[in-house]
């Protein structure tokens, strides 16, 4: 049976007295629910305590969907094409990792795949799995586990490091031959941007609160 919960929208406050402690000065104060776009500041130090970001779930859903599309393009098309000495070499991320593997550097190959494929896919795929149904107040099976896993994967998603590495390589290889920037490289830049926007659109506290509300309502 569905219950009428006290924390109607966000934030859900576990404390029945609706009080929250400031993260900066520990001052205990009333914590009202906020309309979208508003923020609650500490009455003593003025620091931000929490905020109800405008259309947070819609942003997280939209940007993580776009990130997945960019990821697909980044893996289908070459990042760079090198033309030197009559030969032309075009490499995608996976092909670059396989080259490292065949050249006797399996650890670098595995690290490249984990940091640029597995972790980013877990991050944006997990966020989309949780955030999209939460827009309608639904928590899909395993949403709590998925949230834990994708939040753990966040520090390991290093597409931006890979992107900087490619740019440095471009400077070094410039004297060897002619280099073309591929569609995959621009897609990687789009992936970095959309992932950052998706993660910035909703904070961890809000996501967990909304998940708890959805889970409590489904009981
Ligand atoms: Zn304070």
Helix (H) or strand (E) holding 66: helix 56-76
User: Residue 10's pLDDT is what?
Assistant: 57
Q: Residue 3, exposed/middle/buried by CB under 10 A (0-12, 13-18, 19+)?
A: exposed
> Are 79 and 160 members of one domain?
yes
Looking at the 3D structure of the chain, how many domains does it have? 2
Strands (E), the chain: 19-21, 28-30, 39-41, 48-51, 80-84, 87-91, 178-181
- Cα(48) to centroid(ligand 1), Å: 8
> Are 180 and 123 members of one domain?
yes
The answer on pLDDT for 58 being more than 60 is yes
pTM higher than 0.85, yes or no? no
Using only C-alpha atoms, what is the Rg of the chain?
A: 22
Q: Helix/strand/coil (H, E, C) string of the chain?
A: CCCCCCCCCCCCCCCCCCEEECCCCCCEEECCCCCCCCEEECCCCCCEEEECCCCHHHHHHHHHHHHHHHHHHHHHCCCEEEEECCEEEEECHHHHHHHHHHCCCHHHHHHHHHHHHHHHHHHHHHHHHHHHHHCCCCCCCCHHHHHHHHHHHHHHCCHHHHHHHHHHHHHHHCCCCEEEECHHHHHHHHHHHHHHHHHHHCCHHHHHHHHHHHHHHHC
* C-alpha separations of 34 from 13, 19, 31, 39, 96 in Å: 12, 14, 9, 7, 49
> Are 46 and 131 members of one domain?
no
The answer on pLDDT for 4 being more than 50 is no
Which phi and psi (to 5°) does residue 217 adopt? -70, -30
Residue corresponding to tokens 């997990």: 126
> Are 66 and 150 members of one domain?
yes
What whole-number distance in Å separates Cα of residue 106 and Cα of residue 104?
6
pLDDT-above-90 percentage for the chain: 28
> Are 83 and 40 members of one domain?
no
pLDDT tens, position by position, 89-140 = 888 888 888 888 898 889 988 988 888 889 899 999 999 999 999 988 888 9
39: containing domain: 1-52
Instruction: Among 15, 31, 52, give the residue marking a domain's end.
Output: 52
> Are 118 and 202 members of one domain?
yes
pLDDT tens, position by position, 128-178 = 999 999 988 888 999 999 999 988 888 887 888 888 888 887 777 777 778
- Cα(39) to centroid(ligand 1), Å: 14
- Cα(123) to centroid(ligand 1), Å: 32
- Cα(50) to centroid(ligand 1), Å: 12
- Cα(29) to centroid(ligand 1), Å: 9
What whole-number distance in Å separates Cα of residue 187 and Cα of residue 20?
42
Which residues have beta carbons under 5 A from ligand 1 (an ion)?
22, 24-25, 27, 42, 44-45
> Are 45 and 94 members of one domain?
no
What whole-number distance in Å separates Cα of residue 6 and Cα of residue 3?
9
Instruction: Among 9, 37, 52, give the residue marking a domain's end.
Output: 52
């Amino acid at each position: 049976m569905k219950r009428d919960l006290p924390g109607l929208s966000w934030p859900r406050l576990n404390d029945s007295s609706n009080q929250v402690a400031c993260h900066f000065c520990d001052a205990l104060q009333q914590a009202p629910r906020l309309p979208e776009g508003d923020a609650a500041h500490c009455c003593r130090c003025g620091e931000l305590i929490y905020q109800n970001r405008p259309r947070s779930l819609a942003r997280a859903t939209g940007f993580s969907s776009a990130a997945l599309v960019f990821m697909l393009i980044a893996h289908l098309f070459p990042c760079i094409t090198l033309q030197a000495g009559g030969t032309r070499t075009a490499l995608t991320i996976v092909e670059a990792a396989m080259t490292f593997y065949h050249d006797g550097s399996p650890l670098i190959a595995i690290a490249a795949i984990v940091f640029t494929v597995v972790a980013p896919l877990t991050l944006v795929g997990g966020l989309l799995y949780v955030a999209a149904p939460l827009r309608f107040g639904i928590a899909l099976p395993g949403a709590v586990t998925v949230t834990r896993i994708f939040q753990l994967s966040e520090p390991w998603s290093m597409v931006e490091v890979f992107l900087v590495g490619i740019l440095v390589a471009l400077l070094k290889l410039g004297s060897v031959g002619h280099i073309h920037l591929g569609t995959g490289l621009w897609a990687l830049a789009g992936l970095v941007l959309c992932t950052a926007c998706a993660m910035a659109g909703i904070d961890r506290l809000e996501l967990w609160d909304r998940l708890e509300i959805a889970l409590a309502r489904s009981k």
